[in-house]
Structure 1
Amino acid sequence: MTRFRPCIDLHAGSVKQIVGGTLTHDDAALKTNFTSEHAAAFYAELYGKYDLRGGHVIMLGPGNDVAAREALAAWPRGLQVGGGIKDSNAAEWINAGAEKIIITSFLFPSGAFSLERLQAVLKSIGGDKDKLVIDLSCRRVGDGWKVAMDRWQTVTGFEINKENISMLEPYCSEFLIHAADSEGLQAGIDEKLVSHLAKICTIPVTYAGGGRNLQDLELVRHLSDGRIDLTIGSALDIFGGKGVTFEECCIWNTSSA
């Protein structure tokens, strides 16, 4: 059944909610919806208190390792972590307390998917696919979607289609998919993408991007027949939003269990 999944987005060491499409290497055009006065560990403890498993800590660029490690230490084995993870440091993050690691850009050297790199990451964590999440965050291209890497600025040639999803599923336990064109805008989910994912994915999927309220949770449940979870960020009251409260999302999860 569709669940609310929490997040901790880190930028320059702080917990922030940003407009995804404005995130660049020099951050000159960065638009920030919210910068928290609380450390990442505060949110990790909060999520742990309500047993909101499956949430993700995403490191958006450099300078976030310390904050991410503090979050994982605050709730060991309760959170997933992603951002700059590759075969050489994946086990390190599992050892730091991550339930699962999330990997994306490393799989697309020069914008082309590398199965060899995916296999190397999996090998580095003992071949345990239950500890691996593949991030297929994407942008709309024509009538479909293609994976966007490198802070969602580089669109690869890797299409979100049944063939590619079926190829990846044996190597991971779930997918995390940000609709980068909708991220941080609080303008509603990409309904077509959610419906598409529900048709082609057979393992758990968390969708993020544009979620505003409980009605969007209900919409994701309807479109996916309860098979896809939703992350709500900027619209959430604990991140300065006015669309839905954290308490309401917790109640949703309890009532939907």
Structure 2
Amino acid sequence: MTRFRPCIDLHAGAVKQIVGGTLSDSNASSLRTNFTSQHPAGYYAELYKEHELRGAHVIMLGPGNEEAAKTALAAWPGGLQIGGGIKDTNAREWIDAGAERVIITSFLFPSGTFSLPRLQSVLAALNNDRSKLVIDLSCRRVVDDSSSPHPRWKVAMDKWQTITDFEITRDNIALLEPYCAEFLIHAADAEGLQAGIDEKLVQHLAGICEIPVTYAGGGRSIADLELVERLSGGKVDLTIGSALDIFGGSGVTLEQCCRWNDRR
């Protein structure tokens, strides 16, 4: 059944909620921030631990976030996943620092093209334990018309600014599934907008993924959890960020999300 999955997004060492498509190394003035917390990352890790909200992803959006991330992992060893700059040379380090799983994206796509040897090298660094690995396939639509009956999505890397040649298809998902425990997929065009989920992407993921998958982007209410559950037949989990009260939102409270999970 569909479950609420929490997050801790880190930017410049602080917990923030950012409009995903505006994050860029080359143009800092374009960044749109919905919320910057006065609490450190460890505060949210302890909050999730208190409510047994497992599977939360801690995402380091750029440099300067390592200390904050390690503080969160130390607050709940084995309870959080970590992503952002993960590669074969540091994946084991983050597991040793307390991460339940590491999340990889950009490292798998040198020059925008998928590299199976790179994926295999990350898995080797984890002693070939696929239960420790999440593959992030955050993506953007590559069909401009959102009303198209057959939209397509391609993986976006480098803070969702670079669209790769890797399309979210059944064959590509089947290629990756033997190497990981689950997928994390942000709809980058909807991330942080609180304008509703990409319904067609949720349906598409439910139809092609055989392992657990978490969707993020546009979630704003309990009604969206109900919608994801209906569209996916309970196969896809949902992350809610900017709309959540602990991140300054007014769409839904953490308590409501916990009650939703308790009923699953």
Give the TM-score taking structure 2 as reference length.
0.97
> When the two structures are aligned, how many residues end up with a matched partner?
256
1:1-257, aligned counterparts within 5 Å? 1-26=1-26, 27-142=28-143, 143-256=151-264
Task: Please give the secondary structure, in 2, of the residue aligned with 1:28.
Answer: helix
Q: Any idea what the Cα deviations from partners look like across 1:104-137, whole Å, max 9, x if unmatched?
A: 0000000000000000000001000000000000
Counterpart Cα distance in 2 of 1:134 and 1:121: 11
Counterpart Cα distance in 1 of 2:135 and 2:197: 20
Query: Unaligned 5+ residue runs, structure 2?
Result: 144-150
Task: Please give the secondary structure, in 1, of the residue aligned with 2:123.
Answer: helix
Task: Please give the secondary structure, in 1, of the residue aligned with 2:29.
Answer: coil
Counterpart Cα distance in 2 of 1:167 and 1:125: 19
Letter in 1 for 2:96: N
> Percent same amino acid among aligned pairs?
73
User: Aligned-pair RMSD on alpha carbons?
Assistant: 0.4
Counterpart Cα distance in 1 of 2:86 and 2:174: 23
Q: Tell me the CA shift for residue 28 of structure 1.
A: 1.9
Letter in 2 for 1:132: L
Task: Please give the secondary structure, in 2, of the residue aligned with 1:139.
Answer: strand
Counterpart Cα distance in 2 of 1:230 and 1:212: 10
Letter in 1 for 2:4: F
Task: Please give the secondary structure, in 2, of the residue aligned with 1:37.
Answer: coil
Q: Tell me the CA shift for residue 197 of structure 1.
A: 0.2
Counterpart Cα distance in 1 of 2:106 and 2:180: 16
Letter in 1 for 2:238: L
Counterpart Cα distance in 1 of 2:25 and 2:178: 33
Counterpart Cα distance in 1 of 2:95 and 2:128: 13
Letter in 2 for 1:18: I
Letter in 1 for 2:132: K
Task: Please give the secondary structure, in 2, of the residue aligned with 1:251.
Answer: helix
Counterpart Cα distance in 2 of 1:16 and 1:104: 20
Counterpart Cα distance in 1 of 2:224 and 2:12: 30
Give the TM-score taking structure 1 as reference length.
0.99
Deviating runs (4+, > 6 A) in structure 1? none
